[in-house]
């Protein structure tokens, strides 16, 4: 209620396991083209899709057309009124010339590639795109990371960020420092250098969404906001 009094717009940015605390006037949900079926098989993913005004299917450029159509079909079946936008994530790196030909260890967002089920993320895509030589990190894993690779055998070429305790962060740091690579390519949303000390330069990967059809997200939001103008 305090936020309602002080703000003109309330923007709720939920994670992969969130439901909004109130019914939004405009509800935008992102589906992953590399994970078809999760839009109707997970909670609260399915609930969010059912409530959505807009469903953005991201990573379309990396997925098969068959998988994209599966998601579109599922969305239309449970929420025929939703607007569906196809989109891709463009990789952005400040210094791509630092990657080509160099041995690299790949660090990805932990939940995405562990219980999220993906084999890789944006850092791996960037490494392949810009010609890095990816080093298999598994032989150098210590502590909890060794257990993670045993639990998630699909993880072959990446180090997931899952360190929450001091001991886990220590294992994470030691693993990265043991890997015989020249650089670290990371797509995590935080700066690792602020919490651990590594012996390799870190190259941060960002990505920016690009819609492949209209209406775009900006057009939908602009139209929505215009309905509230006096």
This prediction has a pTM of: 0.83
8-state DSSP, 159: E
pLDDT of residue 205: 94
pLDDT of residue 14: 81
Does residue 171 contact residue 140 with C-beta atoms inside 8 Å?
no
pLDDT of residue 21: 84
State the Cα–Cα distance between residues 227 and 230, nearest whole angstrom: 8
Q: Please report, to the nearest 10 degrees, the dihedral formed by the alpha carbons of residues 166, 169, 171, 175 taken in order.
A: -160
Region class of 17: left (phi > 0), else alpha (psi between -120 and 50), else beta: alpha
Does residue 91 contact residue 207 with C-beta atoms inside 8 Å?
yes
pLDDT tens-digit readout, 178-200: 999 999 999 988 888 888 999 99
> pLDDT tens string for the chain (230 positions)?
888 888 888 888 887 678 988 889 999 999 999 999 999 998 999 999 999 999 999 999 989 999 999 999 999 999 999 999 999 999 999 789 999 999 999 999 888 888 777 888 999 999 999 999 999 999 999 999 999 999 999 999 999 987 778 999 999 999 999 999 999 999 988 888 888 999 999 999 998 999 999 999 999 999 999 987 75
pLDDT of residue 107: 96
State the Cα–Cα distance between residues 76 and 98, nearest whole angstrom: 44
Does residue 203 contact residue 91 with C-beta atoms inside 8 Å?
no
State the Cα–Cα distance between residues 213 and 215, nearest whole angstrom: 6
What number of residues does the chain have?
230
State the Cα–Cα distance between residues 227 and 97, nearest whole angstrom: 47
């Amino acid at each position: 209620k305090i936020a309602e009094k002080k703000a003109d717009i309330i923007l709720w940015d939920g994670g992969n396991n969130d439901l909004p605390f109130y019914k939004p006037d405009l509800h935008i949900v992102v589906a992953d083209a590399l994970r078809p079926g999760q839009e109707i098989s997970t909670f609260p993913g399915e609930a969010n899709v059912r409530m959505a005004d807009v469903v953005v299917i991201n990573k379309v450029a990396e997925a098969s057309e068959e998988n994209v159509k599966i998601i579109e079909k599922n969305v239309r079946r449970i929420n025929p009124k939703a607007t569906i936008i196809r989109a891709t994530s463009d990789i952005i790196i400040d210094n791509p010339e630092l990657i080509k030909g160099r041995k690299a260890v790949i660090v990805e967002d932990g939940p995405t590639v562990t219980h999220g089920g993906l084999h890789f993320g944006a850092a791996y895509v960037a490494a392949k795109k810009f010609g890095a030589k990816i080093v298999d990190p598994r032989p150098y894993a210590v502590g909890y990371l060794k257990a993670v690779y045993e639990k998630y055998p699909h993880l072959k070429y990446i180090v997931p960020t899952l360190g929450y305790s001091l001991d886990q962060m220590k294992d994470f740091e030691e693993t990265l420092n043991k890997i015989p690579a020249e650089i670290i390519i990371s797509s995590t949303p935080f700066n690792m250098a602020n919490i651990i000390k590594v012996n390799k330069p870190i190259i941060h990967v960002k990505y920016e969404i690009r819609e492949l059809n209209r209406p775009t997200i900006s057009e939908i939001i602009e139209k929505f906001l215009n309905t509230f103008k006096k």
